[in-house]
């Protein structure tokens, strides 16, 4: 959390929650999902596009030095897309501060929707089975 994330009311600005969810999404997507298709020897040209993102605020987040957590899981896996569920959590007390859903569409290098390659679909399905257990 950055000091600049705090607004004039003394709590973290609501828009910044989208940044936190995006950072967690990238942390999940790159090592677990992108490596599933780039790790086979040849670079694969693909992209991810955010088709929709919803965020529900449940409590205010105060600035502090101790970190908060963003827990992310794959909630739904489709032919060309996946839906990620995320919770912004205070690990000190377990309070859920916000919940988010993000629909990602898999596309080719030109941004046209493309089916998920088998390797990617399999990696996402494995992660969905593990990660979804931790979210309400």
Give the CA distances from residue 63 to residues 1, 60, 72, 88, 116, in Å, rounded to whole numbers and listed in that order.
7, 10, 22, 14, 39
Alpha-helical segments (H) within the chain: 16-28, 35-38, 118-131
- Write the pLDDT tens digit of every residue in 4-59: 788 887 788 888 889 989 999 888 777 666 555 554 444 557 788 999 999 999 99
- Exposed (0-12), middle (13-18) or buried (19+): which is 91, by Cβ within 10 Å? exposed
pLDDT tens-digit readout, 47-84: 889 999 999 999 998 888 888 999 998 889 999 999 99
**Whole-structure pTM value:** 0.80
pLDDT tens digits, one per residue of 92-132: 999 999 999 999 999 988 889 999 888 888 888 877 765 55
- The tokens for 100 are 């988010």
- Ordered by where they begin, the domains of the chain are 3-134 (3.10.129.10)
What confidence score (pLDDT) does residue 126 get? 79
């Amino acid at each position: 959390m950055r000091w600049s994330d705090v607004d004039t009311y003394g709590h973290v600005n609501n828009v910044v929650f989208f940044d936190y969810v995006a950072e967690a999404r990238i942390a999940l997507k790159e090592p677990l999902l992108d490596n599933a298709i780039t790790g086979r020897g040849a670079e694969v040209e693909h992209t991810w596009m955010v088709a929709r993102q919803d965020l529900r605020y449940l409590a205010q987040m105060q600035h502090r030095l101790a970190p908060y957590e963003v827990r992310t899981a794959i909630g739904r896996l489709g032919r060309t897309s996946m839906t990620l569920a995320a919770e912004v959590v205070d690990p000190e007390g377990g309070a859920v501060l916000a919940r988010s859903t993000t629909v990602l569409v898999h596309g080719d290098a030109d941004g046209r929707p493309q089916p998920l390659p088998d390797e990617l679909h399999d990696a996402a399905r494995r992660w969905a089975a593990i990660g979804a257990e931790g979210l309400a």
